[in-house]
Amino acid sequence: MHYRIRVQGHLAPSWQGRFDGLRIEHQKDGTTLLAGFLPDQAALHGVLLQMIRLGLVLLSLETGEQTRDSTSFHVTEEGEEDHMITEPKIEHRSEQLYVAIRTQVTLRQLGKGLVTRHFNEVRVWLEKQGVAPTDAPFIRYLVIDMASLLDIELGWPVASPLSGTERIRAGLLPAGRYASLASIGPYKGKALMKANGALIDWGIEHGIVWDSKQTEQGEAFGARLESYITGPANEPDPEKWKTEVAIRLADQS
């Protein structure tokens, strides 16, 4: 099977030829395009795991049945919207109680319709309990496998412990050192993926190790978040929407 894989991030020339049958075609504007033939899904899974370990963020993956001399291939164009991304920072955060719905979705299924529905469901449940959230809603990425499923929670922070239900469960974000940045602008194109990629790239440049580990299901994070600080619910101007990306560091000293 022929693959074209675009990722957020750059690779050193020494990585050429080290992704089985894939080769680096070009690197531009903070992204890398790899293309070539892989024998089976196991080989693809191995390549994607290797990319995750390198901190690369998957932007697109296309497949085709071409022969090896074929040059035609359909590629979905990425959104070219300009978003402002703030400078990354490291700060200590206190532990945070929350309630959320846990679900497993593919990257394609993780659209804003799904996100909004889950945020609203949890918010309505909180209102019935007479509880107000203490801050903005967020997605917590528990386990990430870009080629398969994302294990995530969608919820709201709260001030006091709640019992929850079978569907809406209580959780706790651990205290510790977090690196974060913010994306300013509408939810279009690959804006939030680029923001995640920018934070990962910055971490690589500064020798940062994330609080994460590889599992059979993918990369499991101690705490990795997207917090929707401002959005359609509280800001009519999409250019002012603010989404924060934060990842807990392994080094807590």
Q: Are residues 102 and 30 in the same domain?
A: no
Judgement on whether residues 135 and 33 belong to the same structural domain of the protein: no
Q: Is the same domain home to 111 and 218?
A: yes
Residues 122 and 165 in one domain: yes
Q: How many CB atoms lie within 10 A of CB 28?
A: 8
Integer CA distances (angstroms), 9 to 57, 65, 82, 201, in order: 7, 27, 17, 6
The answer to whether residue 73 sits within a structural domain is: no
Q: Is residue 253 part of a domain?
A: no
- Which run of H or E residues covers position 195? helix 191-205
Same structural domain, 97 and 29 = no
Number of domains forming the structure of the chain: 2
Residue 112 confidence class, pLDDT cut points 50, 70, 90: low
Asked if residue 13 belongs to a domain, the reply is: yes
| Residues 47 and 158 grouped into a single domain | no
Q: Is the residue at 76 inside a domain? A: no
Whether residue 75 is contained in a domain is answered as no
CATH code of 33's domain: 3.30.70
* Judgement on whether residues 61 and 89 belong to the same structural domain of the protein: no
Residue 150 lies in a domain: yes
Which pLDDT score, from 0 to 100, does residue 69 have? 34
Q: Is the pLDDT higher at 16 or at 71?
A: 16
Residue bearing the bigger pLDDT, 76 or 252 = 252
Which of 34, 67, 100 represents a domain boundary (last residue)? Answer: 67
56-65, 96-105, 149-158, 175-184: least confident range: 56-65
**pTM for the full model?**
0.70
Same domain, 36 and 111: no
Q: Cα dist. 77→81, 83, 107 in Å? A: 12, 17, 17
Residue pair 184/161 in contact (Cβ under 8 Å)? The answer is no
Residue 74 lies in a domain: no
| Share above pLDDT 90 across residues of the chain, in percent, rounded to a whole number | 45
Domain that residue 167 falls in: 85-248
215-217-219-223 Cα dihedral, nearest 10 degrees: -100
* Reported confidence tier of residue 121, pLDDT bands at 50, 70, 90: very high
Domain boundary among 14, 34, 67: 67
CATH number of the structural domain spanning residue 110: 3.20.80.10
Lowest mean pLDDT among 1-15, 96-110, 187-201: 1-15
Same domain, 187 and 224: yes
Both 47 and 154 in one domain: the answer is no
pLDDT category at 79 given cuts 50, 70, 90 is: very low
131 and 100 fall within a common domain: yes
Residue 33 lies in a domain: yes
Strands (E), the chain: 2-8, 22-28, 31-37, 57-64, 84-85, 89-93, 96-105, 138-144, 150-157, 168-173, 176-184, 212-215, 218-221, 224-230, 242-248
Residues 5-20 have a mean pLDDT of: 76
Same domain, yes or no, for 37 and 127? no
* Arithmetic mean of pLDDT, 158-169: 95
pLDDT at 71 over 60: no
For residue 74, what pLDDT band results from cuts at 50, 70 and 90?
A: very low
